[in-house]
Amino acid sequence: MNNREELEKRILRFSFLGSCVLSGAEVLMAIILHSYSILMDAIFDSAELFMMGPFLVLVPLLYRPVNERHPYGYAQVESLFLIIKYMVLLALILIMVNTNVNVILSGGHLVNLGGIASFEIALCIGSILMYLFLQHMSRKYESPTIHAELYLWKTDIVGSCGIAVAFLAQNLLGDSILAPLAPYIDSVVAIVMSILLIIEPVQELIRGFKQMMLFSPPQDVMDKVHEVVKRDLEGLPYEATFIDVIQTGRKTWIEVYLRETLDTSLIDVRHWTKLREFVIQDLKDDFDQIYVEFIPDLPDLPE
């Protein structure tokens, strides 16, 4: 087992244990305080927890080398897993929105504003500590899955702080003219949270489907690859006629079709080997697992 695989499994295990504690506390407090906003958080985190368990078993597959039977290795397993994960989260968010809209239409419900605010402040502090710890552990390596975990902890931080501020503000209003709105505050906050949380699943689903279909990556990625290949070709008797970039999961494949700029019939393999080393070296900080191949751009046969 290599260092990256062991590090990733360790980070995910810590995140898994932290999510267990967080989800358990949220479910318990959602029942005690009868809060839909806390329940929204609990369902989101519990779904994430449920999906993380099987993924810990799949991590070793992502480090297996490519072969003829699996030309892209098991990288698409990660893309498929993330698609399923975000589809589940998206469905849960939509269900929670529908539930809270019905609660508002039926007249809302009262909750313990001070209790919710206190719990969310404690939750925010705990999430900050876990995020800083995981960020420290992943400072040398961050895969798409680790990035997703860090994003979810950041979401917990922002969400907990936002809920705490909303309920503290409402608690301070007391018997003001806004007091009749109290029964709706919990559901309104839950709906606002849902709208904010829905952005990430939608973006990741689009990205995941593009990777599964082997579409080209975003334009900034293509521009980076073109820039590096063009720069490394300077001084060599070749030009790049076509560059194909495929990203799936954490792996990136780059195929560069080369044509000689001098009128010769020989290809110096030493040039190509060295060129590949240069390209990989220049791109290693921008991509996790990168594979570069150079292919001769052969002319079409005359009819």
| Domain identity same for 191 and 255 | no
| Domain identity same for 263 and 206 | no
Task: Decide if 138 is inside a domain.
Answer: yes
Is 0.75 topped by the overall pTM? no
164, 192, 212 - which closes a domain: 212
What b/e readout covers 21-56, taking b as 16+ CB neighbours within 10 angstroms? ebbebbbebbeebebbbbbbbbbbbbbbbebbeebe
Answer whether residue 140 shows pLDDT above 80. Answer: no
Q: What is the pLDDT of residue 103?
A: 78
3-state secondary structure 136-160: HHCCCCCCHHHHHHHHHHHHHHHHH
Q: Tokens 């697992």 label which residue?
A: 289
- Do you know the residue count of the chain? 303
How many Å apart are CA 187 and CA 198, to the nearest integer?
Answer: 16
Q: What is the pLDDT of residue 120?
A: 83
pLDDT band at 172 (very low <50, low <70, confident <90, very high): low
Q: For the chain, what is the mean pLDDT?
A: 78
pLDDT band at 42 (very low <50, low <70, confident <90, very high): confident
For the ranges 52-56, 135-139, 142-146, 282-286, the one whose mean pLDDT is highest: 282-286
Burial of 285 (0-12, 13-18, 19+ CB in 10 A): exposed
| Domain identity same for 165 and 276 | no
pLDDT digits (tens, 9 = 90+) for 79-129: 777 788 788 878 877 887 888 788 788 877 667 777 888 888 888 898 899
212, 233, 256 - which closes a domain: 212
| Domain identity same for 104 and 43 | yes
212, 228, 256 - which closes a domain: 212
Which of these ranges, 64-73, 75-84, 151-160, has the smallest mean pLDDT?
Answer: 64-73
